[in-house]
Amino acid sequence: MRTVDTLSVAADPERVFALAHQVERWPEHLSHYRWVRFLDGDAHEGIVEMAAWRPFGLFQWPTWWVSRMRTDPEALEVHYTHVRGITTGMRVVWQVRPGSRGTEVTLVHEWDGPRWPLIGGPAANWIIGPIFVHGIASRTLAGLGRVAERHNE
């Protein structure tokens, strides 16, 4: 499974990168995040627990995962490897690059899927990736983009 979400943001890359790697502050900016907390380390390198809501009309589906997070300030990238939760083994990278509007952000999720015989791959490719991962990632990008642009005014 591979999902790619991109967004152009009218703010400088350093501002967008700061928002992307200050994950413990995401619930302040993003209503779909239930909590984010470091179990070990900090926003430069550590183990972070995240929980978000995936809305389905009037209903909210709770999601939860734990990741090993590492930031690369020189490359303006944030890397995650999910270490607990249904998405264990998922690799995620936030790439923040200068762009025509100010910043281009690309969020890539890659995963072999859950280790469920016969249905793991289809579940990842048809449900978990497009419905849950993309559903949360696209909201996260849009929300942080709005915050970056608001602070850029």
Q: What's the CATH number where 108 sits?
A: 3.30.530.20
What pLDDT is attached to residue 76? 97
Here the tokens at position 23 are: 């994950």
Q: Which residues pair with 59 in a beta bridge?
A: 56
Instruction: Give me the mean pLDDT over the 87-109 stretch.
Output: 94
**Could you give the 3-state DSSP secondary structure of residue 137?**
helix
DSSP state of 127: I
- Total structural domains in the chain? 1
DSSP state of 11: S
pLDDT tens, position by position, 127-140: 877 778 888 899 99
Q: pLDDT band at residue 101, thresholds of 50, 70 and 90?
A: confident
What pLDDT is attached to residue 42? 85
Q: In this predicted model, which residue has the larger pLDDT, 118 or 91?
A: 91
Here the tokens at position 45 are: 């390198």
Q: DSSP 3-state helix, strand, coil percentages of the chain (rounded to 5)?
A: 30, 45, 25
Minimal CA–CA distance to 125: which of 111, 108, 106? 111
Q: pLDDT band at residue 153, thresholds of 50, 70 and 90?
A: low
Q: pLDDT band at residue 39, thresholds of 50, 70 and 90?
A: very high
What average pLDDT does the chain have?
Answer: 90
pLDDT tens, position by position, 48-79: 999 999 888 788 889 999 999 999 999 999 99
Cα distances from 99 to residues 16, 41, 103, 106, 140, in angstroms, run 12, 31, 4, 11, 19
Spatial distance between the Cα atoms of 63 and 135, rounded to a whole number of angstroms: 11
Structural domain for 93, as ranges: 2-152
Cα distances from 24 to residues 31, 112, 121, in angstroms, run 13, 27, 31
Cα distances from 50 to residues 14, 75, 77, in angstroms, run 23, 24, 19
Q: pLDDT band at residue 152, thresholds of 50, 70 and 90?
A: low
Q: pLDDT band at residue 11, thresholds of 50, 70 and 90?
A: very high
